[in-house]
Amino acid sequence: MPMPLAPSPAPQAGLPITAVIFDMDGLLLDTEGFYTQSTQAIAGRFGKVFDWRLKQHTLGLGALPFATMIVQALELPMTPQDFLAEREPMLEQLFVQAEAMPGAEALVRHLAAHGVPIAVATSSRRHYVDLKTQRHRDWFALFDAIVTPDDPEVHAAKPAPDLYAVAARRIGADPARTLAFEDSPNGVLSAVAAGLRAIAVPDPAMDRSRYTEATAILDGLQHFRPQDWGLPAMA
């Protein structure tokens, strides 16, 4: 049984934070349910079930590693490429409905208003980012960079460090003074591998013991206190 989530205290040591990089799915935008819905629609055709026992291991993975894991774990009679091709039109219809996660827009607007360099490092391809942010273009336009796995400088998906390393470089950030927000264990590993400190904001069903590399754990972005990290306080 996963332990209940509660805000964890910020560290007392370390350089003050001067830049922030965010994951997107399940962190800024409430999209994880769309992946569950579309994956189960495919699995269900073969009498299979895509539930939390499997999903918890897929969070933060790129599209092909995700599809490979699903096809193998559920023994689906298709290739990972076939799975992705069947899932794509379902996701495209769902993504335009994406809602913001609690506290996400307010925090992004606050950091941007105070001149803090901010970026997104997401496992979603650029086409999907455009669909997911259709209803949120005004505040997503505040990001100084949005880095996706189809970026030519990104050679490996999370948990490799590429996405965070490229995002930090694009906004001129020192990784040692950059904070990452992530909902998945793979995302936390990616950020830490790139030299960042990471705050985990997990799904309530996730076992928080899987976030041993995170500097802190919060149960929502609305509970983040920027001043504890050397950033301007929110009013």
pLDDT at 104: 98
The pLDDT mean for the chain works out to 92
| Domains in the chain: boundaries | 19-31+99-228, 32-95
pLDDT at 235: 82
pLDDT at 13: 53
How many C-alpha atoms does 140 have within 13 Å on its Cβ side? 20
Nearby residues of 38 by Cβ (< 8 Å), 6 or more positions away: 87, 90, 91, 94
User: For 124-148, what is each residue's pLDDT tens digit?
Assistant: 999 999 999 999 999 999 999 999 9
Q: Is the pLDDT of residue 228 over 70?
A: yes
pLDDT band of residue 4 (cuts 50, 70, 90) is very low
User: For 150-162, what is each residue's pLDDT tens digit?
Assistant: 999 999 989 999 9
pLDDT at 8: 42
Q: Is the pLDDT of residue 7 over 60?
A: no
At the fourth CATH level, the homologous superfamily of domain 32-95 is Putative phosphatase; domain 2 (1.10.150.240)
Q: Which residue has the higher pLDDT, 59 or 88?
A: 88
pLDDT at 12: 41
Strand 99-100 and strand 29-30: the pairing is: antiparallel
- Interatomic CA distance for residues 145 and 167, integer angstroms: 7
Q: Is the pLDDT of residue 11 over 70?
A: no
Nearest to 18 by CA among 174, 233, 224: 174
User: For 66-101, what is each residue's pLDDT tens digit?
Assistant: 999 999 999 999 999 999 999 999 999 999 999 999
Q: Which residue has the higher pLDDT, 138 or 11?
A: 138
Please state, for a pLDDT cut of 70, what percent of the chain lies above it: 94
Which of 70-76's residues contact partners 24+ apart within 8 Å by CB, and which partners?
Answer: 70/39, 70/43, 74/43, 74/46, 74/48, 74/50, 75/48, 76/42, 76/43, 76/46, 76/48
**pTM greater than the 0.85 cutoff:** yes
pLDDT band of residue 9 (cuts 50, 70, 90) is very low
pLDDT at 63: 85
pLDDT at 6: 38
Classify residue 197 as left (phi > 0), alpha (psi -120 to 50) or beta.
Answer: beta
Q: Which amino acid is at 93?
A: Q
The answer to whether 182 and 191 are in contact (CB under 8 A) is: yes
Q: Which residue has the higher pLDDT, 4 or 139?
A: 139
At the fourth CATH level, the homologous superfamily of domain 19-31+99-228 is HAD superfamily/HAD-like (3.40.50.1000)
The answer to whether 180 and 164 are in contact (CB under 8 A) is: yes
| Mean pLDDT, residues 10-17 | 68
Active site amino acids: 23, 25
Task: Look at the block and give the residue holding tokens 């307010």.
Answer: 106
| Mean pLDDT, residues 180-188 | 95
Q: Is the pLDDT of residue 10 over 60?
A: no
